[in-house]
Structure 1
Amino acid sequence: MTERDQFAAEYALGLLEGEELLVARARAAREPDFADAVAFWEAKLAPLLDDIGGAAPSPALWQRIEAAIEDAPASGEIVDLRQRLRFWRFASFGAAAAAVAAFALVLIQPLPSAPGPQTAEAPMVANIPIGDTDLRLAVTYLPDRREMLVSASGLTADGVHDHELWLVPDEGELRSLGVVRPGEEVRMPLDPGLAALIHNGSQMVLTREPIGGKPPAAAAGPVVAEGTFATI
């Protein structure tokens, strides 16, 4: 099984969280081969759920779950256990899948914690089509971190132009979100003032600029693509 197929299967099984989940969603939106792999695993694995009866897990399984939770870090991010869970998921199917599924439901949930801040804000995503091609600029905004992830892995530089991403605020002028780097996935921290302007439904445009982005004294270049943020 290739890395792509395993990642697609983990996505289809619902094992991914956080940035891995966002990366998988972005790849499914811009990579037809990855989207086909996800669809394949969803079709292949879905019948397993029909075969899982209502039998309760054995006492030994619950003891293993309790022991694992007691040994887990207090942060609630059970990274090591989740990695082992993935191995067990792919190691066997059939009857073993039912037990592993029960184990997964417990381990993937965060540990109880003392009252604290409210639930984290949901990420926002946008897929910006590039011309008449199948390429997409995948943009993910993480409100809690005031951070944006821009994936341009399918794009190539022409050596003559750069492309700059802009936020279209509800009021006022365009705000630059930075120059896109063809063929790369870039993490962009945003200042609080700019981050505060982003919300569900915010629009973005992509302009063609000279190498290095728009010169300070010049007007923005022609718009070549546009997209809208949507809350996940």
Structure 2
Amino acid sequence: MGAARPCPSEGLYRSMTERELLAAELALGLLEGEELLTAHGLVASDGEFARLVEDWEHRLAPLLDTIDPVAPPTDVLQRVLAGIDRAPEAGTEVIALRRKVRRLQWTAGLAALAAGVLAIVTLPPMFAPAPTAPAAAPLVASFALSGTELRLGVTYLPERGDLLINAAGLAGDGVHDHELWLVPPEGKTISLGIVAPDRSVRLHIPAELAARLRDGAVLALTREPLGGSQGRTPGPIVATSKFSST
């Protein structure tokens, strides 16, 4: 666990752990790549982390609901990040520095957001903002694996058409693979892909299949020969779950 840092929402004397920072960044929509995959996996498999994210969403909702999102100028931040990426042999230091830059960005953004709300309260509106369509909520499912305390987390991001599978801690036996399936109300089960042991993976879902992934959709996890079912009848079901919107 990293060093604690000031929490912008509760004053300079309140500190935040790395988990709290990750939860806040997820609530603000600032994560991407492997960090986004890891965070969504934690939401599905770690109840304490999921509550942290929900708590941040409740804290930010009064501010975020009062004004429309406005994209800040990005040229300065892009130049900073580009300079970081060009640093030779930076390794993990580059990743850490990018996280620091992003956290400085969202910390400053919270202060600017609060100032914007104050301006809206004290000044008459100049024009009515254009309505924006709400983003589709992620779908989350969690599989309890029999005989273990492990949970397999699955998250579907409708806006991107990506399926995130977090199988951290799930060891392979060298003989079998696990395969994830969609179980529609009617018709045959549909394979969503192979679960990589002890890894987090991202799979892109085709549009025609994505239309079937919705709140309440039933999922199944099966044990298959190495390489998966490959068009054969699915193997034994080891766990089932349902998608729910977060």
- TM-score calculated relative to the size of structure 1: 0.63
Q: CA deviation at 1:148?
A: 0.6
Structure 1 unpaired stretches of 5+: 43-48, 50-68, 89-99, 108-113
Aligned to 2:156: 141
Q: CA deviation at 1:104?
A: 5.8
Aligned to 2:29: 17
Name the SS for the 1:172 alignment partner.
coil
Q: CA deviation at 1:31?
A: 5.0
Q: CA deviation at 1:150?
A: 0.7
* Aligned mates of 1:23, 1:105 — CA distance in 2: 29
Aligned to 2:221: 206
Name the SS for the 2:234 alignment partner.
coil
Q: CA deviation at 1:215?
A: 3.4
The correspondence of residues 86-101 of structure 1 with structure 2, limited to 5 A, is none
The correspondence of residues 75-224 of structure 1 with structure 2, limited to 5 A, is 82-85=102-105, 102-103=111-112, 105=114, 115=130, 118-216=133-231, 218-224=232-238
Q: CA deviation at 1:72?
A: 2.1
Q: CA deviation at 1:17?
A: 2.1
CA shift digits 1:155-180 (9 cap, x unpaired): 11110100000001122110000000
Q: CA deviation at 1:144?
A: 1.7
* Aligned mates of 1:222, 1:128 — CA distance in 2: 15
* Aligned mates of 2:192, 2:183 — CA distance in 1: 10
CA shift digits 1:34-73 (9 cap, x unpaired): 749x69xx8xxxxxx9xxxxxxxxxxxxxxxxxxx89623
Q: CA deviation at 1:153?
A: 1.4
Aligned to 1:52: none
Name the SS for the 1:27 alignment partner.
helix
* Aligned mates of 1:12, 1:149 — CA distance in 2: 20
CA shift digits 1:6-33 (9 cap, x unpaired): 133442687642556674353254358x
Q: CA deviation at 1:199?
A: 0.8
Name the SS for the 2:42 alignment partner.
helix
How much is the aligned-residue C-alpha RMSD, in angstroms? 3.8
- TM-score calculated relative to the size of structure 2: 0.60
Aligned to 1:7: 19
- Shift of the 221–3 alpha-carbon distance from structure 1 to 2, 3 Å rule, reads farther
- 2:239 matched to 1:225? yes
- Shift of the 200–29 alpha-carbon distance from structure 1 to 2, 3 Å rule, reads closer
- Shift of the 152–106 alpha-carbon distance from structure 1 to 2, 3 Å rule, reads farther
Name the % identity.
37
* Residue identity opposite 1:185 in structure 2: S
* Aligned mates of 1:201, 1:138 — CA distance in 2: 16
- Shift of the 193–155 alpha-carbon distance from structure 1 to 2, 3 Å rule, reads same
Aligned to 2:13: none
Contact preservation (8 Å) 1:29, 1:35: no
Structure 2 unpaired stretches of 5+: 5-16, 60-69, 82-100, 117-128
* Aligned mates of 2:26, 2:178 — CA distance in 1: 35
* Aligned mates of 1:70, 1:231 — CA distance in 2: 27
- Shift of the 206–105 alpha-carbon distance from structure 1 to 2, 3 Å rule, reads farther
Aligned pairs, how many? Answer: 182
